[in-house]
Amino acid sequence: MFLEKEIYHNAVKEWLLAVAITVVVFFLTSIIKHILRKKLSSFAAGTVSLWDDLIAELAGRFHVIFFLILSIYVGSLKVTLPETAQNILKITFVIVSLIQVAILASYTIEFWIEQYRKQKIDTNAEAVTTLTSVGFVLRLMIWAIFLMIALQNLGVNISTFIAGLGIGGIAVALAAQNILGDLFASFVIVLDKPFVIGDFIIVNEYMGAVERIGLKTTKIRSLSGEQLVFSNTDLLKSRIRNFKRMFERRVVFTIGVLYQTPYELVSEIPKMIRNIIESKAQVRFDRAHFKEYGDYALKFEVVYWVQGPDYNVYMDIQQAINLDIYKQFQDAGIEFAYPTQTLFLQREANDATNE
């Protein structure tokens, strides 16, 4: 009978049963994953807890290859395989399982870091920056540990392997000096904190808000919308201006009035400007002086401090000051100067006689 015929130490019906178990287990696990993820996602959408969101995401991160290897391994238990084949299948299942667990563990760390970032980015950007770097180290450690376990299952001598890494690491370090330089620079940025995520910085002629501090590069969103990417090493070598840490903004501006302005009005201008500035909120007046005789104007220099770093607040205050100065100058009959030249013509004496 055909079903009783023996192939590789197993009857045909045993092989068919093993294949059937493999197919059933594969489709069952795939269907369970799909249903479970859908149900969990629906449930998580109606709650405020983050645990169910995490579980729903983890359910969706079981890879199809893991289910396939699991199904083949379960199906193989119904037949007698050669020892070599059985060991290969077992080791493959263990390694794929380790990789799957590492993926889940790595994503769990990434998930909680992302949730912390969303909650704290506006109030504690420094902690977010530090935790992002710590999260990378934890994920790296997870993959390193699972790699060691996988190698041990493959029969590799871990002690010899680690010793070999020490020698090979020197060669790799020499070949990847720039990459390692950026890697260490990223840790310096995280520990020293010249800037953190959310800070507005200027690097040479480039400016923008820090979006992400990576292992090799730092990404900045410019005012015009494009993303600027800087090497971490280059950033540490540059002069960085961090406006997020500005507690007060010093403002200096100059105005000019006509030379024909009467002395009495000229002497009143510093007092007028001082009264205008002191009437504004979030402002600390410094000084207002008749600075110099310009080419076409009497120039006054004004200095005040905006008590806060926000650029929009500064511009609103400066606009209000400019409007008040314009109004009071108009009421007092003081005219602003603009670039002019006066040309004097003189006839020669001979020309006057001939006429």
**Residue 201 backbone dihedrals phi, psi, to 5 degrees:** -125, 160
For residues 333 and 329, what is the distance between their CA atoms, to the nearest angstrom?
6
Per the domain annotation, does 38 fall within a domain?
A: yes
Domain end position, chosen among 192, 221, 244: 244
7 and 45, same domain (yes or no): yes
63 DSSP β-pair partners: none
Per the domain annotation, does 171 fall within a domain?
A: no
204 and 296, same domain (yes or no): no
pLDDT digits (tens, 9 = 90+) for 13-51: 777 888 888 888 888 888 888 888 888 778 777 777 777
Give the confidence band of 271 by pLDDT, cuts at 50, 70, 90.
Answer: very high
For residues 156 and 182, what is the distance between their CA atoms, to the nearest angstrom?
32
**Residue 337 backbone dihedrals phi, psi, to 5 degrees:** -85, 155
Helix ranges (H only) for the chain are 12-45, 51-59, 64-76, 83-120, 125-153, 158-175, 177-192, 232-237, 263-278, 311-332, 349-354
pLDDT digits (tens, 9 = 90+) for 227-246: 999 988 888 888 888 887 78
**By residue range, what is the domain housing residue 220?**
179-244
Would you state the structure tokens that stand for residue 22, as one six-digit string?
């493999």
Q: How many structural domains is the chain composed of?
A: 3
149 and 215, same domain (yes or no): no
Kindly report the number of other CB atoms within 10 A of residue 151's CB atom: 14
Domain end position, chosen among 221, 244, 267: 244
199 and 312, same domain (yes or no): no
Give the confidence band of 103 by pLDDT, cuts at 50, 70, 90.
Answer: confident
pLDDT digits (tens, 9 = 90+) for 71-89: 888 888 777 777 777 888 8
Would you state the structure tokens that stand for residue 337, as one six-digit string?
């100067």
Cα 328 to the chain's mean position, in Å? 47
Beta strands 206-213 and 249-257 are unpaired
Per the domain annotation, does 103 fall within a domain?
A: yes
Residue 199: closest CA among 122, 313, 118, 312? 122
Per the domain annotation, does 50 fall within a domain?
A: yes
78 and 212, same domain (yes or no): no
64 and 141, same domain (yes or no): yes
Domain end position, chosen among 191, 213, 244: 244
CATH assignment at residue 296? 3.30.70.100
Say whether pLDDT at 62 is over 90: no
CATH assignment at residue 236? 2.30.30.60
Residue bearing the bigger pLDDT, 151 or 248: 248
